[in-house]
Structure 1
Amino acid sequence: MQMLPLADRYGRVATDLRVSLTDRCNLRCSYCMPPEGLDWLPSDEQLTDDEVVRLVTLAAERLGVTEVRFTGGEPLVRRGLVDIVRRVREAGPDLELSITTNAMGLTRTAGALAEAGLDRVNVSLDTVRPDSFHQITRRDRLQDVIDGLAAAEAAGLGPVKVNAVLLRGINDDQAPEMLRWCLERSYQLRFIEQMPLDAQHGWSREEMVTAEEIFASLEQEFTLTPAKEPRGSAPAELFTVDGGPGTVGVIASVTRPFCGDCDRVRLTADGQIRNCLFARTESDLRSALRGGASDAELAERWVVAMHGKAAGHGIDDETFLQPDRPMSAIGG
C-alpha cells in the first residue's frame, strides 16, 4: 500500500491527528462558550463510531499519522469512546493514543480506557481554587476533576499533563500556585495563551495573559532553565524547574507562534478536515465517506486538503478573522 504523506506547500508533514468526537461539553468555561451552551450538532451529522475508526485507521495506514488525540467538546461524554479507542488500538498497535479532557468522568472510565489501549491524558484545568474554578467553568466540580486526575495516574495513563489558561483578573495571579500543585503530584503543567477561539468572539489581545507575563510570574518563585531536549514540533517551550526533575511548559500560540514546525491536522466531529486550528475553510470527508468513496479516494481528498494549508495562522495580520467555529466545535 502506497503511503501518501500529508504534506503542504511549505514542506511540513502532518503526523499528529486531533479527532473531535463531539462538540458537547459538561462545563461552560467563559473563554470557550456562553453560560447557556451552544446549539449542538444534530446526531445524524456527527460521525458514527464506525466512521471515526475507519478514518483514523486510514490516516494511520495510508497517510503516515503516528499520533492520535481524541478531543471534543468533552470526549468523555461520547458513549462509544472506550470502544473507539480499543478498535483504533487494534488497527494501529504502534500509534500514540491520548485524549484531551476536563477529567470529570475519569474516575469511572480511566481503567477501561487504559485497558482499551489509551496511552495518556491531557487534562484542562485552569485553577485549583474552588471559587476560581466555579467562576471560570460556571460549575462546582473541581473535586471531580482532581479525583479524575488521580484516577488517570492510578490507571497508568501517564505522564499526566495539565493544560492551564490564565485569564486576566480571574486566575492570572495563580501560575506559581498551579505549578507547585502539579509538581507535588508529578503532573506536567503547560500554560497556554488564550487564543481567539471563543464562541462569543470576545477575545482581545489586550486582555490576553502573555507568555512573558507567565514567565515573569513563575520566576518570582522558581528558577526556570530551558530544557535540553529539542522542542521539535511540540507546541510547548519546555523548562526545567529549580534544576529538575520537574518541568513546566508554555504554549505561546499568539505571541511566539510555531506554525513553521506544525505537524497537526484536525478531523471534526462532523467529518470535516481542518488543516489549521485557525482555518476558515474545511474539507468535507463525511459526504464522500457516506457516498461510498473508497479508502484510496478518501486518502486523496485528505492529501489535497492538507496541501492548501496556509504558512501561518495570521493572528498578527490586521486582516485576521476568527474562525466561525469555536474551539469546542473544532477540537483541540
Structure 2
Amino acid sequence: MAVLLDTFGRKMEYLRVSVVDSCNLRCFYCSPGQACKPRSLRRQLSREHIVRAISTAAKVGIRKVRLTGGEPLVRKDIVSIVHDIAQIPGINDLSLTTNGTLLKDLASPLAAAGLKRINISLDSLDSSNFEQITCGGQLRATMDGIDAAFAAGLTPVKINMVVMKNLNHHEVERFAKLTKEKDIHIRFIEYMPMLGQDDTWRKHYLPTSEIMSLCSTVSRLEAVEQEELNGPARNFRYPEAVGILGFITPVSQHFCSNCNRLRLTSDGKLRPCLFAAEEVDLLPALESGKDLVHYYQKAALNKPANSDVSPASRGAKKGPLGMVDIGG
C-alpha cells in the first residue's frame, strides 16, 4: 500500500477538496474585505478533473476525502461527483462540509451516492443573529438540512460553530446543551485570523479556554478517548450525554504535529497547509493528461512543520485570503 510522507515523517492520508469557490451565504469571516458582496467565479475544476485528481491521491496513500467550498451544494453535479468518488478504490471515508441551506432535498441523494458523513456550519441558533452573521441567511433552511441529514443516516452529524466574542459567544451554552439529548457532535472553532480582518479578528477572537469555561457552566466536562474519534478536535462530553463536544484550537494551541492533510482548491491548486503560501498547480497536468503522482509528492514535501498562525508568532496580517478562496 502506497504511503505519502512529508519531510517530518507525517503520513498524508486526508485530502480536503474545494469543489467551488462561491457560496449562497456571505458569512463575513469567510470572505474578508468583501462580506455581503457578490464574488465572481474563478475557473473551477470539472467533475472529471476532480475525480482524476482524487483517483491519483488514492494511489499515493490518501484514504479520506472531504468535499468543501465555498458551498459545495451549489454545484449542480455534486451528487454525481460524490458518486464517482465513492467508487474510487482506496477511498474509505468520504464526507462533506456544508452550510446546510440546500441539504433538505440533497441529503438522501448524497447518502445514496455514497456520502458517509456530513459537517454543517452553523454559527447561531437565533434567527436574527444568524441572518446578521450570514448577511441575509435563513436559519430555518439550515435546521431543515440538519433534520434531513439525520433522516438520511449521514451520521454522526457534526455542527461547526465559529465562536466570536460579542457576536455569538453568548449562545455557546445553548449549542452545548444540544448534545445532552441528541447524538450530535458540536465543534467549537476558534475564529482564525484572515488577511483583511485584522481589527475584526482582534475584536471578536475568543480562545478555546474561555469557550470551555462557558460549556462547563452547563455541566462537568469529561474527556473522550481520542481513539474513538479522528480529526483535530479535542473531544469531551457531559455525563450521560448522547452527543460530543469538540474544541478546535488553530490559534491558541495548533495541532500541526499530527496534521495529515493536503488541500485541493477549486481551481486546481494543491496546498500543503491552510496558512502556507506555497501551492502546486495540478490544472496543467490535468488538462494534458500528465501523471499527477509527482505533484502530490511535491506538495507533501512542501508541507511546513507548523502553520505558525498564533498572534504572538505570526500576527493577523499573514493569514490566507479567505476560507471561501481556499476551502474550509
Alignment TM class, shorter chain as reference: over 0.9
Distance 2:203 2:122 in 1: 23
Cα distance 1:93–1:301, how it changes in 2: closer, same or farther (>3 A)? closer
Q: CA deviation at 1:88?
A: 1.0
> Conserved in 2, the CA contact under 8 Å of 1:6 and 1:307?
no
For the pair 1:204 / 2:205, whether they are aligned, the reply is no
Distance 2:50 2:144 in 1: 29
Q: CA deviation at 1:278?
A: 0.6
| Counterpart residue type for residue 41 of structure 1 | L
* Residue from 296, 305, 311 that aligns with 2:305: 311
Unaligned runs of 5+ in 2: none
State the SS of the aligned residue for 1:108.
coil
Scaled by the length of structure 1, the TM-score of the pair is: 0.92
Deviation readout 1:146-174 (Å, 9 max, x if unpaired): 00000011011111000001111111111
For the pair 1:151 / 2:148, whether they are aligned, the reply is yes
Distance 2:23 2:205 in 1: 23
Cα distance 1:200–1:215, how it changes in 2: closer, same or farther (>3 A)? closer
1:182-331 → structure 2 map (5 Å cutoff): 182-197=179-194, 200=197, 202-205=199-202, 207-230=204-227, 234-294=231-291, 298-316=292-310, 318-319=313-314, 321-331=317-327
Q: CA deviation at 1:134?
A: 1.1
Distance 1:36 1:247 in 2: 33
Q: CA deviation at 1:260?
A: 0.2
Residue identity (%): 37
CA RMSD of the aligned region, Å?
1.9
> Conserved in 1, the CA contact under 8 Å of 2:65 and 2:91?
no
Cross-structure match for 1:41: 41
Q: CA deviation at 1:200?
A: 4.5
> Conserved in 1, the CA contact under 8 Å of 2:183 and 2:244?
no
> Conserved in 2, the CA contact under 8 Å of 1:32 and 1:199?
no
Distance 2:82 2:171 in 1: 35
Q: CA deviation at 1:257?
A: 0.7
Distance 2:98 2:156 in 1: 14
For the pair 1:65 / 2:98, whether they are aligned, the reply is no
Cross-structure match for 1:12: 10
> Conserved in 2, the CA contact under 8 Å of 1:32 and 1:198?
no
Unaligned runs of 5+ in 1: none
| Counterpart residue type for residue 64 of structure 2 | E
Scaled by the length of structure 2, the TM-score of the pair is: 0.93
Kindly tell me the number of residue pairs found equivalent between the two proteins.
Answer: 324
Cross-structure match for 1:125: 122
Deviation readout 1:275-322 (Å, 9 max, x if unpaired): 00111121101112213312xxx1111101110111101123645553
Distance 1:238 1:90 in 2: 31
